[in-house]
Amino acid sequence: MEKKCLKAYPLITVIVPIYNVEKYLKKCIYSILNQTYDKLEIILVDDGSPDKCGKICDELKKSDDRIKVIHKKNGGLSSARNAGIDIAKGEYIGFVDSDDTIEPFMYEKLLSSIIENGTKISVCAVNYTYENGKKLTKTKLGNDCTFDFYQAMVEMNAHRIFDMGAWSKLYHKDLFNDIRFPEGKLSEDYYIMYKIFERAQKVSYVSTPCYNYLQRSNSITRNVKINHDHEYAAKSQMEYLEQKYPEMSVLGHVSYASAALTVYDSYIKNNVPCPKEEMEHFKSVVKQNKKYINKAEFLPKSKKIQFRLFTISTNLYNVVFKTYRRFKRI
């Protein structure tokens, strides 16, 4: 996609929800402003941030007429994203979290992928970055390709080359016609992404890592609060798939069991004792979905062993989990 032809291409709205990230905000916004695809509308949503983010947003707006700023009462990540969607003028929409950065070619590549493959959504590989400068690509990159709805759901739920995150994707605005992020919940992406994929039917994949996802100890997704919404969202997806797509019932049930185990794992990661009744609940979810786990061809053997170990001995599971985290630094 040559620079001289950009005027022939559609407007992309990039929505940045902002809360308490003054240390990272300018770097994030500059990475968007420096895109090789410059036909952008950039909506900065100051979600009642108590630090200097609001002032920084206003200063940035003065420097580039592509920037719009919304100042609103704090309502959370979903509320901020929804506020941006509601006023977006672009034919396409992307999301960037305000402590992350994107590579200069991200939206050029994602839009090219959509146009070339006739899809309404594209997703790119992700770099996981750290404040010490370290950068890792955790996903199996593969090659550029296009997935149908079923294949895309498997890849997303199995976390093989992409996941639920809203930020590594470019969407046709029509996909959000009557869909919004659920307000007041964590794992907000999980609640809606399967519906977005269903509406799109095809997903094109860019194997080049374009999004830099910052891992920081005090980010909204890495705090000590145990995120039970992750399990609830997975259960909603399971029930939806079982009703509308019986052929995806194995995927839905396995993802639900995996989400329950992920919530339990968060207790271990944060050194928080798991209440006995919750531990029994997590075990029950895994056991109830055992037949689906055994049937899941997309599930690696190591994951099946993880499920089995958890149901046999949580004490042994905890030791193995902590040892794995220590050596793999996950």
Segment 116-137, tens digit of pLDDT: 999 999 999 999 998 887 888 8
Instruction: Specify the residue for token string 């493959």.
Output: 117
Per-residue tokens: 99: 């402590």
Segment 6-40, tens digit of pLDDT: 447 899 999 999 999 999 999 999 999 999 999 99
Q: Where are the domains of the chain?
A: 9-220, 224-328
Four-CA torsion 301, 304, 308, 310, nearest 10 degrees: 110
Chunk the chain into consecutive blocks of 10 residues (it has 330) and report each block's average pLDDT, rounded to whole numbers: 58 98 97 98 98 98 98 98 98 98 98 97 94 77 91 93 93 98 96 98 96 76 77 98 97 98 94 94 97 95 95 93 69
Segment 156-193, tens digit of pLDDT: 999 888 889 999 999 999 999 999 999 999 999 999 99
pTM score: 0.92
Are the C-beta atoms of 10 and 92 separated by less than 8 Å?
yes
Helix, strand counts (H, E) of the chain: 12, 10
**What CATH code would you report for 9-220?**
3.90.550.10
Are the C-beta atoms of 128 and 137 separated by less than 8 Å?
yes
Per-residue tokens: 174: 């029509």
Radius of gyration of the chain from its Cα atoms, rounded to whole angstroms: 20
Q: Which of 28, 46, 30 is nearest to 96 (CA)?
A: 28
Per-residue tokens: 219: 């980010």
Rounded Cα distance, 328 and 250, in Å: 29
